[in-house]
Amino acid sequence: MSSRRSASRNTPHPKARWLVGEVLVGIVDADGESYRAVERGWRPTLPTAQAGRFGLADLLAVSAEVADAAA
């Protein structure tokens, strides 16, 4: 996989972002006990950087806070 970056920004190529997203969704969907399998209408209720939109960065931020609290 190429580590090529978008020309205008220092962000991953859109196809790379799509691929990562699809892999993560596939992992969650493969788990028959995940919230996506058990509660189809479930939506995250954790704090987000952008109101109404929960993204991977939000998940990582919450995970870091939980890890810090557990340490």
Lowest mean pLDDT among 18-22, 29-33, 53-57: 53-57
- What is the chain's mean pLDDT, rounded? 83
Tens digits of residue pLDDT in 36-65 = 888 888 777 888 888 888 888 898 999 998
Please check the confidence at residue 30 and state whether its pLDDT lies above 90.
yes
Question: What are all long-range contacts of 45-53, with beta carbons under 8 Å and residues at least 24 apart?
Answer: none
Residue 16 makes CB contacts below 8 A (sequence gap 6+) with: 1, 2
12 Cβ contact partners less than 8 Å away, ≥ 6 residues apart: 5, 6, 20
The pLDDT value recorded for residue 5 is 52
Tokens linked to 28: 């969650």
